[in-house]
């Protein structure tokens, strides 16, 4: 049996703007997906794995210039909520691709897995930045910019929380398209938002390095307001975020967002975590504690 795991990810700041050439800061988190492949005499008939195979196998076949992959059984165990902005598709794709390459006895490296995972992300999301698959494969806290080489960052602030605002009705692809349409209709307004997000991302790098909690809170609060101006944060999530802010903390969407219902997982930070936990319990909000900067793709022994 061949087994790989890959982490989920969060956007600390820069989602949507990163698609249009602006920088973003992302981090691998300590929620992982585990993919296992074992040789089989017959093709796996599991419907869930079959739909994934239809996306991943053609990408691998094209890269290796082969027409057929021997039958195998595929098992996926995930701690990452699907469709909640935590990079589930990138994590599954990366671990699955590495497992197939190993199954085929192909000599591979992280760069190859990252490139192929990016191709899978195009199928899942239409016009991805490449940031999700990169941080999932390489791990850590990352400065990502489409025009330059990604850079690993240091962070003195590692402990955050996630509040579930509800799974979005819209797909990531639909939310990315929503921003594209808004950019076409209001180019000057949206470009100003993207420029301000770039400023905040640069300030965030310094705040993380210095462990400056007050600056971090201010930056994330401003960044979330910009995301709301883009129209990617639903009313339910906004209400939760405003309540978190009243407790002295801060929260923002952690992925593409959603407006019709939930907006996915909200990334939250509070200088006094017990206060935030008390708030979430009082309001019956599902909450997870997470750590940033986790290892990327791993071969499991």
Catalytic residues: 132
Cα 176 to Cα 161: distance, rounded to the nearest angstrom: 25
Q: Do the beta carbons of residue 27 and residue 65 sit within 8 Å?
A: no
Order across the sheet with 287-291: list the strands: 250-253, 265-269, 159-164, 287-291
Cα separations (Å) of 34 from 3, 54, 74? Answer: 7, 19, 11
């Amino acid at each position: 049996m061949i087994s790989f795991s890959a982490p989920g990810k969060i956007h600390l700041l820069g989602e949507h703007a990163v698609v249009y050439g602006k920088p973003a800061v992302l981090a691998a988190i300590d929620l992982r997906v585990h993919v296992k492949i074992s040789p089989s005499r017959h093709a796996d008939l599991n419907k869930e794995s079959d739909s994934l195979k239809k996306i991943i196998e053609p990408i691998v076949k094209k890269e290796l210039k082969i027409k057929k992959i021997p039958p195998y059984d595929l098992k996926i165990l995930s701690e990452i909520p699907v469709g909640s902005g935590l990079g589930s598709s990138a994590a599954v794709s990366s671990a699955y691709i590495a497992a197939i390459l190993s199954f085929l006895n192909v000599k591979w490296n992280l760069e190859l897995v990252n490139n192929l995972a990016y191709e899978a992300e195009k199928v899942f999301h239409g016009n991805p930045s490449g940031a999700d698959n990169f941080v999932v494969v390489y791990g850590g806290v990352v400065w990502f910019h489409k025009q330059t080489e990604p850079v690993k960052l240091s962070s003195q602030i590692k402990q955050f929380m996630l509040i579930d605002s509800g799974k979005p009705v819209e797909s990531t692809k639909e939310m990315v398209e929503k921003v594209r349409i808004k950019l076409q209709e209001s180019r000057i307004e949206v470009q100003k938002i993207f420029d301000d997000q770039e400023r905040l991302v640069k300030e965030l790098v310094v705040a993380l390095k210095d462990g400056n909690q007050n600056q971090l809170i201010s930056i994330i609060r401003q960044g979330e307001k910009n995301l709301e101006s883009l129209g990617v944060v639903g009313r339910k999530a906004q209400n939760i975020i405003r309540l978190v802010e009243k407790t002295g903390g801060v929260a923002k969407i952690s992925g593409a967002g959603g407006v019709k219902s939930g907006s996915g997982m909200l990334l939250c930070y509070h200088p006094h975590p017990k206060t935030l936990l008390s708030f979430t319990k009082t309001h019956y909000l599902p909450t997870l504690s997470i750590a940033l900067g986790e290892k990327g793709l791993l071969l499991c022994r």
